[in-house]
Amino acid sequence: QVQLVQSGAEVKKPGASVKVSCRASGYTFTSNAIHWVRQAPGQRPEWMGWINGGNGNTKSSQKFQGRVTLTRDTSASTAYMELSSLRSEDTAVYYCAREGAPSHGPFDYWGQGTLVTVSS
Amino acid sequence: DIQMTQSPSSLSASVGDRVTITCRASQSIAIYLNWYQQKPGKAPELLISAASSLQSGVPSRFRGSGSGTDFTLTITSLQPEDFATYYCQQSYSIPLTFGPGTKVDIK
């Protein structure tokens, strides 16, 4: 069965960076894109960007451009999201999600979420 | 960016009730509208994709409809496990965007 398993919770100081991993299993990693979505407390989910599992192409929301780096390691079936220059407003649960179909696909499987807390 | 709105923002209902949630996009998104259910402390789960396609394993009491800018999620007979927050999401264009959510709780 398809599973996405994320790395554990992080506490960071303002200005630092955080890198979250998302290990996929149960399907061919290179066949689907992985998206990153974050959700601040009590807020709607917010899309951050995506990486093509096959060719590694990425696209991120303009809101995060310059601060977010999406990478993947196909040998480990793992995607990574690094967010830099953290501020308190970045405190949220970060999710990875698989795109279920190429082009316009929904997020059919999600990781369990990684809580990132930014606090001095 | 495409803005998504939902109504109502919350509702109280009883087991067995028929519940309808609406979602509106700020421009046409064809049928590229997905619905998710989220329970506290959990990741969202896909219920319906492409406006009306029921995800495998999702009970048939969940129904989606609509196209263009106006969409509806209907739960035909609310069950205890359906009390949750529901989000619509457009997958028509980047940046992908979600609605603000509709919280369904027990009357």
Region of residue A70 (left: phi > 0; alpha: psi -120 to 50; beta: else):
beta
> Across the interface, which of A63, A108, A112 has its CB nearest the CB of B46?
A108
Q: Average of pLDDT values for A11-29?
A: 98
Q: Is the pLDDT of residue A4 over 90?
A: yes
Residue A101 has what pLDDT? 82
Q: What is the mean pLDDT of chain B?
A: 97
Give pLDDT tens digits for A27-55. 999 999 999 999 999 999 999 999 999 99
Name the pLDDT band for B84 (thresholds 50, 70, 90). very high
Q: How far apart are CA B36 and CA B44, in angstroms?
A: 6
Chain B partners within 8 Å of A105 (Cβ): 49, 91
CA atoms of B71 and A94, how far apart (whole Å): 27
HSE of A28 in the Cβ direction (CA atoms, 13 Å)?
Answer: 3
A83-B85-A49 Cα angle (round to 5)? 25
Residue A105 pLDDT class (50, 70, 90 cuts): confident
pLDDT band at residue A107 using 50, 70 and 90 as cut-offs: very high
Those of residues 2-21 in A touching chain B at CB distance below 8 A are: none
pLDDT of B9 higher than 80 = yes
Residue B13's pLDDT is 96
B50, B92, B97: residue with CB nearest A47: B97
B8 cis-preceded (ω within 30 degrees of 0): yes
A38 — contact with chain B (CB < 8 Å)? no
How would residue A65 be classed by pLDDT, with cut points 50, 70 and 90?
confident
Strand pairing class (A92-99; A33-39): antiparallel
pLDDT at B64: 98
The pLDDT score that the predictor gives to residue A67 is 97
Residue B27: CA count within 13 A, CB half-sphere: 6
> Measured between CB atoms, does A47 come within 8 Å of chain B?
yes
Nearest by CB to residue B101, choosing from A44, A110, A112, is A44
Residue A23 phi, psi (nearest 5): -95, 125
Q: Is the pLDDT of residue B39 over 90?
A: yes
Give percent of chain B above pLDDT 70: 100
pLDDT score of B89: 98
Q: Considering CB atoms only, which of A44, A110, A113 is closest to B87?
A: A44
Contact yes or no for B54/B60 (Cβ under 8 A): yes
CB atoms within 10 A of CB A102: 11
Q: Determine the pLDDT at residue A30.
A: 96
Best of B55, B93, B96, B102 to disrupt the A interface (most A CBs within 10 Å) is B96
What pLDDT does B106 receive? 86
Beta strands (DSSP E) in A10-106 are: 10-12, 18-25, 33-39, 46-52, 58-60, 68-73, 78-83, 92-99
Nearest chain B alpha carbon to A47:
B96
With a CB cutoff of 8 Å and minimum separation 6, the contacts of B56 are: none
**B35 to B45, B59, B85, B90: CA distances (angstroms):** 8, 14, 11, 9
Are residues A110 and B32, on separate chains, in Cβ contact within 8 Å? no
